[in-house]
Structure 1
Amino acid sequence: MYFGLTIVLVMVLLLPFAVKSIESNLESFLFTMGVLAVVISGVLNKELLSTALSDPINITFAVIIAGLLFRLFQKPFEKVVRYVSRHMPFPLFVAIIVIGLGIVSSVITAIIAAIILVAIVSVLNLSRKDQIRMVVITCFSIGMGAVLTPVGEPLSTIATSKMNETFFYLLKLLGVQIIPGIFAFGILAAIIVRKPARKLGIAPRNKLETIPEIIIRGIKVYIFVMALTLLGAGFEPFIERFLLNINLYALYWINMVSAVLDNATLVAAEISPEMSESTIQAILLGLIISGGMLIPGNIPNIIAAGKLQITSIEWARIGVPVGLLSMIVYFIVIVFS
């Protein structure tokens, strides 16, 4: 069983980069790998199937409704974004977007923050390289900020519930580490995302998405989330066998598997009320940061990459080095705090 799950994990990590047809059909590929994982581990049952079918519903509706609302209000929204970006130094504008979405994601959810990000980036006349840079770095910020309250994302909901704690528990536990990180991502984006060569005020208007296109994107998100649910459940025996009894610092680095696995599943398996606060901090930080490294690692990544057609290789070129640097910085903080 463990050998089979290892093969599945390697395939999930490598094939989207190596095979173009898989990259073009990432949702279907991950769903297939999820089914394979639950079959190999022997955890496929009616309860899991029900969970896999129901978990993506709210996210899918949020994506579709937000898409329809943006379609309805696209013109006034574009005018506001263009006006603000023209009357503000561009690096400051970029930093405010990255930091602002990171902070408010804990209130409006990571999903809505990602949809707003896509809407803003779609208005700016950025080069392809700068568009990807801004999206990837902002998704790191959103992924980190969303964990500060239980409504931000599933990881924070599960962590708060497992610890039997109050609404602001994670803000008190991780705020000192995460909020400076969000500001750091804002500064990084301000430095490396260049102002468009063409004036924002005369940039061509974005074509209105058709309703079928919006619905199709929602269906793709549904399949993606269902695939992550199956992958997480399928790898639970693997996690319990190999990850739960190892050194904390090693676990911090091993948790980089959340770049392709559902970090909510990992946190459910790894933390308990008996652990010290420093241990929980290390586990959560490892999961949160590495979730931004690859597209499957976090829901905001999936939404933004799908809408803007960012490939796995394009995402990894920015996400992996930024994620590794962030992991190193936070590891030093953990060791010496």
Structure 2
Amino acid sequence: MQFDPLDLGLFAIVLIVLVGPFMVKKIEHNLEVFLFVMGVLAVTISSFYNKELLVQTLNYTEHEVGLIGWNMHLVMEAVEEPIIKGIVPAVLVAGLLFHYGKTTVQKAMNSITQVVPVKIIVFLIVSILGLLSSIITAIIASLLLVELMNCMPFDRQTKINLVIIACFSIGLGAVLTPVGEPLSTIAITKLQAEPYHAGFFFLFNQLAVYIIPGCLAMGLLAMFFTGKAKAMECKVTEEEDGGLRDVVVRAIKVYIFVMALLLLGGGMKVIIDKYILGIPPEYIYWVNMISAILDNATLTAAEISTKMSPIQIQAVLMGLLVSGGMLIPGNIPNIISAGKLGISSKEWAKLGVPLGLVLMLIYFIWVFYIPFHIEFHF
């Protein structure tokens, strides 16, 4: 493997992307624009690679070499895929439904909590939101979670515990379709070429055997954290950014976010093929615990490749999905729920870290050492 000085430039971008949001508040608050700029820089740097050398060292075909750096295929993919894969329309439509239906949901929950056992309600909320998040999007599922938790007769600590468990469920379930969350959109887009030809149900077919039991298990676990209920009614939460404007802005941000990550992933293709593909999947799985402090969609853009084996893809995604629930920055549901309910990083980590470590160990044993894998064919 021949080191190229351009590799250093791309690694520098990776480092900036990883630490930038934590070091500079303005980057954290303008993450979409920041990632877009980094994506443009990554693609620009990769344009200077010696194409003949790539053919010799990485065995690229003429077609693959043509996809390195700026090209119309990458540009059109970045522009079109956030809409074609459905995540932006889903966020917009589900956001409108949530905006106009929030009051109805609150009234319904006030009635349901009077007649249905609280533990059953909690199980259904956590499990169903997890499974439905791949359809209604993780963003809307987490907003709905906040509204439902405000209707539940629990003290603050119990609500925090339930929200953390529910966010693990949502983070897992949202991966099943490309409309669920940016991670799944990026993964499907990057795997739609040969040999996988990933379509709408690709991730469902590959991961549902791990994801569905996980969502149900989180529902059961949540039942044990319900504590003692007390009488109360729904607490109405206000829209932070102003009603319908918030819905539209949220959809635009998701569009820019996904577009930026597609550019970033395209720019990183050479160093992925050089340095990531040779790592054993067992190591990749545990290394991806850094998803606890980094957005897992960003890591997906930097790691996933069509040259990976199925077990490598499973290791990358399961490691990112599970560890993403450990700390607040790990995924979108955590950020939304913690922000709206005022959960501190310390409060989240108290349950999120140990629960995440246990789940990481369970899934590690299951994925790599238990010969039980059902692949669906939708």
Q: If the length of structure 1 is used for normalisation, what is the TM-score?
A: 0.76
1:279 Cα deviation after fit = 5.7
Deviation by residue 1:26-53 (Cα, 9 ceiling, x = unmatched): 2222223323332333323333222222
Deviation by residue 1:246-305 (Cα, 9 ceiling, x = unmatched): 223122223446625253674443534xx6xx6664454334434545677666567x46
Cα separation, 1, equivalents of 2:73 and 2:341: 34
- Is 1:13 aligned to residue 26 of structure 2? no
Cα separation, 1, equivalents of 2:347 and 2:80: 28
Are the structure 2 counterparts of residues 68 and 179 from structure 1 closer, same or farther at C-alpha, using a change threshold of 3 Å?
A: closer
1:179 partner letter: I
- Is 1:182 aligned to residue 205 of structure 2? no
Compare 122-131 and 13-22 and name the one that shifted more: 122-131
1:190 Cα deviation after fit = 3.8
Structure 1: gaps spanning 5 or more residues:
none
* Higher Rg of the two aligned structures: 2
- Is 1:213 aligned to residue 246 of structure 2? yes
Q: Is the 8 A contact 2:142 2:170 kept in 1?
A: no
| Structure 2 residue aligned with 1:75 | 103
Pick the aligned partner of 1:50 from 67, 76, 80. 76
Residues paired across the two proteins, number = 327
1:220 partner letter: K
Pick the aligned partner of 1:93 from 121, 126, 141. 121
Work out the percentage of aligned pairs sharing the same amino acid: 42
Counterparts of 1:27-176 in structure 2, within 5 Å, are 27-42=32-47, 43-57=69-83, 58-106=86-134, 108=135, 111=137, 114-125=139-150, 134-148=162-176, 153-154=184-185, 155=187, 162-163=195-196, 174-176=207-209
Cα separation, 2, equivalents of 1:249 and 1:100: 31
1:116 partner letter: A
1:98 partner letter: V
| Structure 2 residue aligned with 1:227 | 260
Are the structure 2 counterparts of residues 246 and 307 from structure 1 closer, same or farther at C-alpha, using a change threshold of 3 Å?
A: same
Secondary structure of the 2:306 match is helix
Q: Is the 8 A contact 1:23 1:312 kept in 2?
A: no
Are the structure 2 counterparts of residues 279 and 5 from structure 1 closer, same or farther at C-alpha, using a change threshold of 3 Å?
A: closer
Structure 2: gaps spanning 5 or more residues:
1-5, 48-68, 371-378
Are the structure 2 counterparts of residues 260 and 168 from structure 1 closer, same or farther at C-alpha, using a change threshold of 3 Å?
A: closer
Cα separation, 2, equivalents of 1:246 and 1:163: 20
Q: Is the 8 A contact 2:81 2:189 kept in 1?
A: no
Are the structure 2 counterparts of residues 115 and 168 from structure 1 closer, same or farther at C-alpha, using a change threshold of 3 Å?
A: closer
| Structure 2 residue aligned with 1:325 | 358
CA-based RMSD: 4.0
1:63 Cα deviation after fit = 1.7
| Structure 1 residue aligned with 2:308 | 271
Q: Is the 8 A contact 1:17 1:312 kept in 2?
A: no
| Structure 1 residue aligned with 2:58 | none
- Is 1:25 aligned to residue 58 of structure 2? no
Secondary structure of the 1:246 match is coil
Q: Is the 8 A contact 2:142 2:333 kept in 1?
A: no
Compare 218-227 and 15-24 and name the one that shifted more: 15-24
Compare 304-313 and 113-122 and name the one that shifted more: 304-313
Cα separation, 2, equivalents of 1:241 and 1:65: 41
Cα separation, 2, equivalents of 1:217 and 1:168: 25
1:79 Cα deviation after fit = 0.9
1:51 partner letter: E
Deviation by residue 1:5-46 (Cα, 9 ceiling, x = unmatched): 323223322232333332222222222332333233332333
Cα separation, 1, equivalents of 2:101 and 2:210: 37
| Structure 1 residue aligned with 2:59 | none
Higher helix share: 1
Are the structure 2 counterparts of residues 85 and 235 from structure 1 closer, same or farther at C-alpha, using a change threshold of 3 Å?
A: farther
- Is 1:237 aligned to residue 270 of structure 2? yes
Are the structure 2 counterparts of residues 218 and 181 from structure 1 closer, same or farther at C-alpha, using a change threshold of 3 Å?
A: same
